Amino acid sequence: MPVPQSPAEWHRLAAELHYATGHFIHGEHVATRGGRFTVVNPATAEPLCEVAAGDATDIDAAVASGRRAFREGTWRRMAPRDRLEVLNRLAALIEKHTARFTLLDSLCMGKPVRDMVSVDVPQSALTFRYFAELSDKVEGTVTATAVDAFHYTLREPLGVVGCITPWNYPLMQIAWKIAPALAAGNSVVLKPAEQAPLSALLLAELFIEAGAPPGVLNVINGYGADAGAPLALHNDVAKISFTGSTVTGKKMLVYAGQSNMKRVSLECGGKSPQIFLDDLEDMDRAVTYAINGIFGVMGEVCSAGSRLLVDKRIAQEFTARFIERGQHAYVAGDPLDPETNMGPLVTKKQHERVLGYIAAGRAEGAKLEFGGDVPDRPGYYVNPALFTNVDNRMTIAQEEIFGPVAALIEVDGLQDALRIANDTIYGLAGSVWTSNLRSAHAAVRGLEAGTTYVNCFDHGDPTSPFLGHKQSGQGGDKCLEGLLSYTQTKSAWIHLGS
Ligand code: NAD
């Protein structure tokens, strides 16, 4: 299916699109036994489809399937080179179905098709390729024992891994979790976000087409409390890999303690600072990154640069340039128009939440320089907003808004900037803009964040870890370490003496 080039072609394809709306268990689409919930297209505020609302019984069936597949061992005992081939075929199928994946996510959560085509889909395919290539590079060790013994360690898959994912990069967040889990030989039960559940089902179907055995990847749809919690509480699940809010992330730790002490890795919320020092080299480039870092993808990015910490010596010029360009940079439009760079927020609830934060910013005395209003069109749109005169104690500087709202805070040099940057419960990402190598290093060391940048923001690659410190999470996605987190070490002692 070729990738459409015009809004009319995208709409025609959307009208003809067929997709599954149930669960996927043991290699097959399964209709729901229970209820359904409605997914609303946020660009129109009209219902899009009804999706299976799974519960503990569905989770039991999916975990049993994953466990059976793991015990039978067709996947985990497959030669790593053969697993590699299956995952590479899946990557190729993702690319082949770019248009379908794009529509499935865009219709559910409002992301512009141009973002899906240029970022989400290719990055998802790349993630599978990267972890495919690592499949046969998971090695053990031989340790330094006395001659009467031979001791080695090996890395084994964990068993059934539960993956729970958010709606902001539906396909990509799934890829970041299931690609390493599968490459390591585990079975997976995936509970995708209820706001954007459709791409997960297509992915599971294509995994079978790529040559995977049934039961290795299962998908159960539904709400967090009804389907996510039973998965995280399940005694036959060896690990929960979670991405979502900090509030829900904390529940995962409780669920693990209440059940089988399963491993938990968490990618949670953020309130990431970008620090702009007065010796930065290229103000225009810095302002561009500041704008894109918070307004891109409607600000619905965990690592969004929502706090702009600008040295007071350059604050006036920086603010003027941000206002001049920032207020026109992102324009509300039809997500299915390849020219559109700003879609709606994901749901009515999220729309109300973001508008609530904008009202709080005004009420607490920050200055709204532009935006924050609702464009005159259907759907859950909000125009990007810039607040200045922000104090870091204000609600808009402390809480994760998950919308296109920037808070500009004036700082006095690097140490003041770091003090304010770190005055948050979060620690996901942070950047510094400077031409001074010493300041750059000091900022990298001083920022309490898992992912740091110098003179850039939000760059990444499957080779580099993405992780949060503090209440932004523990563990992390991507890179070799990400793959190893889906394995456990086994110690083997062989007695060679008499
Ligand atoms: P959320 O926590 O509401 O939901 C995330 C997932 O958890 C969904 O699948 C949901 O159904 C499930 N869930 C909810 N309650 C549950 C429960 N009690 N038990 C089990 N599962 C439950 O988050 P969201 O609104 O979907 O996503 C936005 C959040 O995700 C933001 O905070 C954002 O920062 C974070 N996020 C973090 C990263 C990262 O890599 N750090 C990436 C993307 C999004």
Going by alpha carbons, the residue nearest to atom 18 of ligand 1 is 225
Quote the distance between the C-alpha of residue 82 and its chain's center: 28
Q: What residue has token string 């927020």?
A: 345
What long-range pairs does 420-423 form, CB within 8 A, spacing at least 24? 420/273, 420/307, 420/309, 420/392, 421/273, 421/275, 421/307, 421/309, 421/446, 421/447, 421/448, 422/446, 422/447, 422/448, 423/392
| Alpha carbons 48 and 179: distance in angstroms, whole number | 29
Q: Measured from the CB, is residue 243 less than 6 Å from ligand 1?
A: yes
Task: Give the residue, out of 191, 245, 258, 346, with the most ligand 1 atoms within 8 A of its beta carbon, to mutate for a pocket test.
Answer: 245
The pLDDT assigned to 497 comes to 87
Res 1: pLDDT: 75
How far is the centre of ligand 1, averaged over its atoms, from the C-alpha of 268 (Å)?
7
The beta-carbon contacts of 281-284 under 8 Å, at least 24 apart in sequence, are 281/435, 281/455, 283/314, 283/317, 283/318, 283/321, 284/321
Question: Cβ distance 75 to 83 under 8 Å?
Answer: yes
Angle of helix 98-109 relative to helix 7-16, nearest 10 degrees, comes to 90
Cβ neighbours of residue 312 closer than 8 Å, sequence gap 6 or more:
410, 411, 412
Q: How confident is the model at residue 447 (pLDDT cuts 50, 70, 90)?
A: very high
pLDDT of residue 180 exceeding 80, the answer is yes
Report which protein residue has its CA nearest ligand 1's atom 32.
245
Ligand 1 pocket, 277 CB below 6 A?
no
Ligand 1 within 6 A of 193 CB? yes
pLDDT of residue 384: 98
Distance between CA atoms of residues 327 and 347, nearest Å: 23
Give the 3-state secondary structure of residue 276: strand
Whether 165 lines ligand 1, by a CB cut-off of 6 Å, is yes
pLDDT, tens digit, for every residue of 88-138?
999 999 999 999 999 999 999 999 999 999 999 999 999 999 999 999 999
- Tell me if residue 364 is catalytic: no
The Cα–Cα gap between 248 and 153 comes to 35
Atom 40, ligand 1: which residue's CA is nearest?
Answer: 267
CA of 196 from ligand 1 middle (Å) equals 12
User: In the CATH scheme, what is the homologous superfamily, with its name and number, of domain 7-268?
Assistant: Aldehyde Dehydrogenase; Chain A, domain 1 (3.40.605.10)
Find out whether the beta carbon of 225 lies less than 6 Å from any atom of ligand 1. Answer: yes
User: Of all helices (H) and strands (E), which one includes residue 150?
Assistant: strand 149-157
Q: Could you tell me the pLDDT band of residue 33, with boundaries at 50, 70 and 90? A: confident
pTM over cut 0.85: yes
Instruction: Give the distance (Å) from ligand 1 centre to CA of residue 243.
Output: 5
Under DSSP, is residue 251 helix (H, G, I), strand (E, B) or coil?
helix
Q: Where does the pLDDT of residue 472 fall: very low under 50, low under 70, confident under 90, or very high at 90 and above?
A: very high
In angstroms, rounded to a whole number, what is the distance separating the alpha carbons of residues 244 and 374? Answer: 26
Cα(368)–Cα(61) distance, rounded to whole angstroms? 52
State residue 34's pLDDT score.
85
| Cβ(244) – ligand 1 distance below 6 Å | yes
| 406 beta partners | 386
Residue 498: which pLDDT band, with cuts at 50, 70 and 90? confident
Q: Is the CB of 428 under 6 A from ligand 1?
A: yes
> Of 163, 268, 302, 479, which is the active-site residue?
302
Task: Using alpha carbons only, give the angle 206, 483, 168 rounded to the nearest 5 degrees.
Answer: 60
Strand order in the sheet with 273-276: 367-370, 385-388, 405-411, 307-311, 273-276, 429-433, 451-454
Q: Which pLDDT tens digit goes with each residue over 364-405?
A: 999 999 999 999 999 999 999 999 999 999 999 999 999 999
| pLDDT tens-digit series, residues 310-362 | 999 999 999 999 999 999 999 999 999 999 999 999 999 999 999 999 999 99
Q: Taking 90 as the threshold, does the pLDDT of residue 428 lie above it? A: yes
H or E segment at 258? Answer: helix 246-258
Q: Compute the distance between CA of residue 176 and CA of residue 169 in angstroms, rounded to an integer.
A: 10
Assign 234 a pLDDT band (cuts: 50, 70, 90).
very high
Q: Which CATH architecture has domain 273-466?
A: 3-Layer(aba) Sandwich (3.40)
* pLDDT band for position 62 (cuts 50, 70, 90): very high
pLDDT value for 192: 98
pLDDT score of 179? 98
Ligand 1 pocket residue status of 496, Cβ below 6 Å: no
Q: 302 catalytic, yes or no?
A: yes
Dump pLDDT digits (tens) for 143-163.
999 999 999 999 999 999 999
Mean pLDDT for the chain overall: 97
- Domain spans, the chain: 7-268, 273-466
CB 131 within 8 A of CB 161: no
**E strand intervals along 376-425:** 385-388, 405-411
Percent of the chain with pLDDT over 70: 100
* Catalytic pick among 267, 369, 400, 410: 267
* Tens digit of each residue's pLDDT (9 = 90 or more) over 2-16: 899 999 999 999 999
Task: Provide the total of helices (H) and of strands (E) in the chain, helices listed first.
Answer: 17, 22
In DSSP terms, 433 is beta-bridged to 276
- CB within 8 Å of 87: residues ≥ 6 apart: 128, 129, 131, 132, 135, 179, 182, 183, 210
DSSP annotation of 171? H
For a pocket test of ligand 1, which of 243, 247, 346 has the largest count of ligand atoms closer than 8 A to its C-beta? Answer: 243
d(CA 200, CA 187): 15
State how far the Cα of 478 lies from the Cα of 462, in Å rounded to an integer: 5
Determine the distance separating the centroid of ligand 1 and the alpha carbon of 346, expressed in angstroms.
13
For ligand 1, atom 15, which residue shows the shortest CA distance? Answer: 224
At residue 32, the pLDDT reads 82
- Which ligand 1 atom sits nearest the alpha carbon of residue 248? 2
Give the per-residue pLDDT at 105. Answer: 98
